[in-house]
Amino acid sequence: MKDLLHTADLSREDVELLLATASDFAAKPLSASTALANKTVAIYMTKPSTRTRLSSETAVAHLGGTPIFIRGDELQLGRGETIADTAKIISGYCDALIIRTFAQSEVDELGMHASIPVINALTDDDHPTQLLADWLTIRETFGKDIAGRKFVYLGDGNNMANAWLVMGAIMGAHVVTATPEGKWAPNRKYVDMAQQIAKKSGATIEVIHNADEAARGASVLYTDVWMSMGDSEFDRKEKVAALSPFSVTDSLMAATEKDSIFMHCLPAHRGEEVSASVIDGPRSVIWREAYHRRTTIQALLYHLSRGELAGSK
Ligand code: CP
Ligand code: NVA
């Protein structure tokens, strides 16, 4: 496996290796401080980022490498240079490329033409590095035996919902998305993908449209912003009305298991997708989850650069 372009690129074995290494990096951030010595990692983002950018730059530094951050408007790509040419040029200077942008196809094309590892740091469709941090947090909370546990995502059927289903499928989990029906439901392509993976992994995939039913007996309630980067402001009113029943409130949390946790990829909007009392309350694991963005990206760079991930194909 050269790249991490989609969550579905990862095999269960890859995820286990990455979680184990990330755990080590959580305890000892500098335990592989020469792994990327004299190497550079380009981080190209056409959308804003707090966590992914800072955790990626820090991860590269902790591995002894140099991150080179490039904003969306800074490459000749914006002036008509092709993706293929850009990929070849970056491959000549750098040792990996981390990219955040709108279209998944752009990331796929970069992966195809670059000779160096390309890592998807969020597209409109997917967010694989976030899911690694999420599953490390889940592992730390519940351990390896997740039989009988239900992992629920509530809200917009966006990139996070797609990735939640696919990663849950890889992990053999019982994963649920509860979203409005219709245009804010998860992308059919990703639901099908999760169901395909589940056939082999033994996962249970539920795509439903009722928040109370989803929360009943859940071990995790996860949510994300209602308006993602790039979403049309034109839709806001209609979308907020459709998503309101999926807001994670204290009464929704009360329907979950006694040891349940609340998760959020962040940034969050208190009073919209989650109540302040939930996200800032005792069941919330958001700070540990955010911390693991660094440990998991560090593990990913470490193993991808050494060619140690097998991939799912
Ligand atoms: N969760 C996440 O990807 O955060 P940023 O948008 O701040 O990178
Ligand atoms: N769905 C959100 C996730 C942010 C980390 C977005 O794409 O803006």
Confidence band (pLDDT; 50, 70, 90) for 313? Answer: confident
Does some domain include residue 310? no
Active site residue 130: yes
Does some domain include residue 16? yes
Judged by its nearest atom, the ligand closest to the C-alpha of residue 57 is 1
**Pocket residues: Cβ below 6 A from ligand 1:** 49-52, 122, 130, 265-267
Give, for ligand 1, the residue of 43, 45, 51 to mutate: max count of ligand atoms closer than 8 Å to Cβ.
51
Based on the fold, state whether residues 136 and 256 are members of the same structural domain. yes
For residue 36, give the nearest of 302, 310, 309 by alpha carbon.
Answer: 302
Note every long-range contact of 108-113, with CB atoms under 8 Å and residues 24 or more positions apart, other chains counting: 108/5, 109/83, 109/84, 110/83, 110/86, 111/2, 111/3, 111/5, 112/84, 112/87, 113/83, 113/84, 113/87, 113/88
pTM of full prediction above 0.95: yes
- In the predicted model, what is the mean pLDDT of residues 117-137? 98
Between CA 231 and CA 212 the distance in angstroms is 27
Which residues, 6+ apart, have CB-to-CB distance to 215 below 8 Å? 152, 154, 178, 221, 252, 253, 255, 256
Confidence band (pLDDT; 50, 70, 90) for 293? Answer: very high
Based on the fold, state whether residues 162 and 277 are members of the same structural domain. yes
The parent domain of residue 297 ranges over 7-126+290-305
- In the predicted model, what is the mean pLDDT of residues 154-171? 98
Does some domain include residue 84? yes
Does some domain include residue 59? yes
| CA quadruple 232, 234, 238, 244: dihedral sign | positive
Q: Measured in angstroms, how far is the CA atom of residue 47 from the centroid of ligand 1?
A: 10
Based on the fold, state whether residues 70 and 208 are members of the same structural domain. no
For residue 66, give the nearest of 41, 90, 43 by alpha carbon.
Answer: 41
Based on the fold, state whether residues 276 and 219 are members of the same structural domain. yes
**Token pair for residue 212?**
């109370």
Question: pLDDT (tens digit, 9 = 90+) per residue, 212-258?
Answer: 999 999 999 999 999 999 999 999 999 999 999 999 999 999 999 99
